[in-house]
């Protein structure tokens, strides 16, 4: 652990030499001065997720510091409390916002993809805070507040944790990144007023770029062609099979493809084209989508004849109600990725939107009943939705949905609240 702590604070992880470095060996008598130089160091620590996943090192001078983030969480938390008139202890929320990253002064900023367990991270940051506080003599509740945030047992701690994740997504939008790809942060936002903000951000960023860690694996020219020529065609589809769904399937497809020896350009194209025919004829949309791909002469310059054949077949094979197994690993990847349950409320919205467009003769009550019936038929214990590869994300969300569907009255009431 000491090596991790030491490595995290080398020059590759800080913006510039700070007062923390300049005065660390000085005999400073006033403990508040010494304390200031230590917490001021958060201004000089880069947020590692932006470097490693979203933007890459070439944008390092534009990346926010840990202190930038902490201030933004504080300001966002105050604003949410005031706007929605929430009954939280606002003073405690402010303290939690400022203190929740304090351990990173010595421990460094870890990301979910770092080879550090949750327990190791907690211990490193706790020791870092204890080291920090050992330099001051005045009474404070900093460690207790940090522990409160970590334990997530109070409503204020839970609120700030979710604001923390929302702020990450909003910062990503400032960097021009599509919020659809911010899965780790999105999955942790459950409070309705924060989800309302999240939905607005997702709408605003839907045409933004992929994160660096995905984008750098795809042919840039191919990706620009898809973005400029193919994505706009999804404006013809109803919301449930629109561009947000397509980008979710692309993300999930590429994540699944990383586990196999698959050509990522091919996976990207299959996912990008798979629902293109929905606006023409939803009943045979997989056939139409494949035909639209084959007729696209411009796309063929990136693939040989065998690859074109595999892509076409994979698009044809993706449908959940298909009566045969996909003919290639590419079909299995995209078909599995297409079983998207981002969250229950989103799934309800997509299903209701699909029904209102394709069954306009139904009354509102009948549309709501149809949502329940369709989800049971597709995702129930005997549902037709199949996955062909291990997919923990889908399995987790499927279990939640099945539990919700087990009580029809409660589920119908949930649908009513969402669509009204």
* Domain positions in the chain: 2-205, 217-338, 340-420
pLDDT value, residue 11: 38
* pLDDT the model gives residue 188: 87
CA distance 350 to 359: 14
What is the predicted pLDDT for the residue at 238? 84
Q: Dihedral angle at the C-alpha atoms of 271, 273, 279, 283, nearest 10 degrees?
A: -70
Fold match flag (2-205 vs 217-338): yes
Do the Cβ atoms of 277 and 288 come closer than 8 Å? yes
| CATH class in words for 2-205 | mainly alpha
Q: Is 176 left (phi over 0), alpha (psi -120 to 50) or beta?
A: left
Instruction: Decide: 315 and 290 in contact? Cβ < 8 Å.
Output: yes
Q: Given this model, what pLDDT does residue 21 score?
A: 66
pLDDT of residue 419: 86
We find that the CATH architecture of domain 217-338 is Orthogonal Bundle (1.10)
Beta strands in 157-281 (DSSP E): none
pLDDT below 70 — which residues of the chain? 1-26, 54, 58, 211-213, 342
Rounded Cα distance between 272 and 288, Å, is 14
Using CA atoms, how far apart are residues 335 and 329, in angstroms rounded to an integer? 10
Question: What pTM was computed for the model?
Answer: 0.70
């Amino acid at each position: 652990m000491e090596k991790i702590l030491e490595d995290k604070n080398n020059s590759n992880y800080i913006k510039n030499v700070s007062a923390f470095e300049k005065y660390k060996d000085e005999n400073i008598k006033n403990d508040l001065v010494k304390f200031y130089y230590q917490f001021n160091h958060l201004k000089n620590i880069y947020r590692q997720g932006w470097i490693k996943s979203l933007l890459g090192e070439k944008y390092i001078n534009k990346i926010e510091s840990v202190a930038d983030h902490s201030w933004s969480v504080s300001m966002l938390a105050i604003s949410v409390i005031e706007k929605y008139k929430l009954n939280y202890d606002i003073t405690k929320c402010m303290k939690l916002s400022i203190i929740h990253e304090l351990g990173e002064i010595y421990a460094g900023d870890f990301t979910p993809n770092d080879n550090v367990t949750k327990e190791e991270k907690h211990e490193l940051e706790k020791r870092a805070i204890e080291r920090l506080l050992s330099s001051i003599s005045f009474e404070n509740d900093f460690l207790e507040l940090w522990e409160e945030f970590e334990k997530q047992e109070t409503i204020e701690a839970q609120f700030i944790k979710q604001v923390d994740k929302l702020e990450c997504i909003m910062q990503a939008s400032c960097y021009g990144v599509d919020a659809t790809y911010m899965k780790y942060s999105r999955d942790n936002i459950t409070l309705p007023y924060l989800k309302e903000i999240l939905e607005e951000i997702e709408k605003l960023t839907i045409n933004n770029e992929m994160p660096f860690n995905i984008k750098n694996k795809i042919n840039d020219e191919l990706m620009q062609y898809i973005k400029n020529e193919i994505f706009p065609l999804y404006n013809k589809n109803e919301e449930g099979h629109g561009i947000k769904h397509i980008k979710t399937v692309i993300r999930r497809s590429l994540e699944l493809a990383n586990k196999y020896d698959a050509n990522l350009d091919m996976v990207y194209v299959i996912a990008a084209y798979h629902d293109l025919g929905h606006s023409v004829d939803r009943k045979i949309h997989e056939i139409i989508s494949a035909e639209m791909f084959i007729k696209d002469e411009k796309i063929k310059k990136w693939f040989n004849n065998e690859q074109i054949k595999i892509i076409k077949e994979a698009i044809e094979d993706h449908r959940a109600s298909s009566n045969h197994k996909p003919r290639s690993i590419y079909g299995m990847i995209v078909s599995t990725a297409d079983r998207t349950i981002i969250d229950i409320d989103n799934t309800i919205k997509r299903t209701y939107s699909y029904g209102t467009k394709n069954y306009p003769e139904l009354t509102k009550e009948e549309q709501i009943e149809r949502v329940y019936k369709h989800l049971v038929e597709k995702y129930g214990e005997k549902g037709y939705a199949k996955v062909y590869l291990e997919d923990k994300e889908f399995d987790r969300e499927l279990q939640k949905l099945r539990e919700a569907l087990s009580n029809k009255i409660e589920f119908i009431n949930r649908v009513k609240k969402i669509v009204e």
